[in-house]
A and B are shown apart, each in its own frame.
Chain A
Amino acid sequence: MAEIEVLHPGLYSSIQDLGRFNFRKFGVPLSGAMDSYSAKIANLILGNSIDKPVLEITQLGPKLKFLEASFISICGAQLSPKINDRVVLNNKLLQINKNDVLSFGKRNLGCRGYIGIEGGFISEKNMESYSWYRYITNFETLQKGMRLEYFSTKRQSFSINASAKIDSGYLEDLSIEVYEGPELNLLSLSQQKKILSMRFKVDNNNNRMAIQLQEPLVNSLKPIITGPVLPGTVQLTPSGKLIVLMRDCQTTGGYPRVLQLSEEGINTMAQKVIGDEVSFALIEIK
Chain B
Amino acid sequence: MSHEYPQIKPMGDKAILIDFEPKINENLLEKLLNIKEFIENELVKEKVEIINTYCSLLIIYPNTIENLYNEVLTIKALISNPNIGKNISPNIFNIPVCYDEEFGLDLVHISKDKNLKISEIIEIHTIPIYTVYFIGFLPGFLYLGGLDKKLKISRKETPRLKVEKGAVGIGENQTGIYPKTSPGGWQIVGNSPLIFFDKNNEPPSVILPGDKVKFYSISKKEYLDISEEIKCGNFQLKSEKYHG
Chain A positions within 8 Å of B, measured between CB atoms, are 21-28, 126-127, 135-136, 179, 181-182, 185, 224-228, 230, 232-233, 250-252, 257, 260-263, 285-286
Contacts and interface: CB of A to CB of B under 8 A. Distances in A.
B24 A225 contact: yes
A181 B17 CA distance: 10
Contacts of A23: 139, 204
Chain B interface size, as a band, is: 35 or more
Interface stretch (B57-65, B115-123, B223-231, B236-244): B57-65
Contacts of B50: 25
Interface in B28-50: 47, 49-50
Interface of B: 1, 9-15, 17, 19, 22, 24, 47, 49-58, 60, 62, 64, 67-69, 134-141, 143, 180, 182, 197, 199, 203-205, 209
Given A228-B58, A262-B64, A285-B69, 10 more contacts: A25-B49, A27-B139, A27-B205, A28-B139, A179-B11, A230-B11, A252-B53, A260-B11, A260-B12, A261-B12
A224 B24 CA distance: 12
A158 B50 CA distance: 42
Nearest to A25: B51
Contact of B17 (A127, A228, A286): A228
A286 B197 CA distance: 41
B62 A24 contact: no
B64 A263 contact: yes
A26 B49 contact: no
A286 B199 CA distance: 40
Nearest to A260: B12
A230 B140 contact: no
A126 B201 CA distance: 11
A263 B11 CA distance: 11
A21 B62 contact: yes
Nearest to A286: B69
A174 to B, nearest CB: 20
B154 to A, nearest CB: 13
B60 A24 contact: yes
A1 B180 CA distance: 34
B90 to A, nearest CB: 15
Contact of A262 (B12, B52, B55, B203): B12
A179 B72 CA distance: 15
Contacts of A228: 11, 17, 51-53, 56-58
A252 B134 contact: yes
Contacts of A232: 12
Contacts of A26: 135, 139-140, 197, 203-205
A126 B137 CA distance: 19
Nearest to B209: A25
Contacts of A257: 11
A250 to B, nearest CB: 6
Contacts of A127: 199, 204
Nearest to A263: B64
A228 B11 CA distance: 10
A209 to B, nearest CB: 12
A178 B87 CA distance: 37
Contact of A179 (B10, B56, B140): B10
B55 A182 contact: no
A224 B53 CA distance: 12
Contacts of A226: 53-54, 136, 143
Contacts of B60: 24, 230
A227 B53 contact: yes
A37 to B, nearest CB: 12
Given A226-B53, A227-B53, A285-B69, A27 B11 contact: no
A149 B195 CA distance: 31
A261 B24 CA distance: 28
- Which 7 A/B pairs are nearest by Cβ-Cβ distance? A252-B136, A228-B58, A260-B12, A27-B135, A28-B139, A27-B139, A22-B49
Nearest to A126: B199
